[in-house]
């Protein structure tokens, strides 16, 4: 069993919030009738151009663990909202 990394406090919260903001900034440009296209680079094949916020949210993977956790939380909440 591997050791778990435990972080808490303002620094952890700020890092997670930065991940939330990164995801929100990427998705919000696709919203509405004036929404813009987003280019998603894949490790294989041609880049994908989309205006779908769900696709953009699913493709975002951040290097920083705490930032990525924040982005994953928003993604999970959005998928649960969509299921109802």
Instruction: Quick: pLDDT tens for 25-60.
Output: 999 999 999 999 999 998 888 999 999 888 899 899
Is-above-0.85 flag for pTM? no
Q: Is the pLDDT of residue 83 over 70?
A: no
Number of domains in the chain: 1
Q: Is residue 2 part of a domain?
A: no
User: Residue 62 has which token pair?
Assistant: 């951040």
Percent of the chain's residues with pLDDT above 70: 96
Q: Is the pLDDT of residue 2 over 90?
A: no
Task: For residue 15, give its domain range.
Answer: 10-83
Paired strand residues for 39? 49
CA distances from 67 to 17, 50, 54, 71, 79 (A): 7, 24, 19, 6, 19
Q: Is residue 4 part of a domain?
A: no
CA distance 79 to 10: 27
Q: Is the pLDDT of residue 73 over 90?
A: yes
Q: Is residue 53 part of a domain?
A: yes
Q: Is residue 5 part of a domain?
A: no
Q: b/e for 35-65, b at 16 or more Cβ within 10 A?
A: eeebeeeeeeeeeeeeeebeebbeebebeee
**Mean pLDDT, the chain, integer:** 90
| Number of residues in the chain | 84
Percent of the chain's residues with pLDDT above 90: 61
């Amino acid at each position: 069993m591997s050791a778990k990394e435990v972080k808490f406090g303002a620094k952890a919260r700020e890092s997670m919030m930065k991940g939330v903001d990164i995801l929100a900034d990427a998705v919000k440009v696709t919203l509405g009738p004036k929404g813009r296209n987003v280019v998603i680079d894949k490790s294989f094949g041609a880049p994908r151009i989309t205006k779908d916020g769900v696709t953009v949210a699913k493709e975002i993977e951040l290097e920083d663990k705490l930032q990525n956790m924040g982005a994953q939380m928003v993604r999970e909440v959005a998928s649960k909202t969509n299921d109802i």
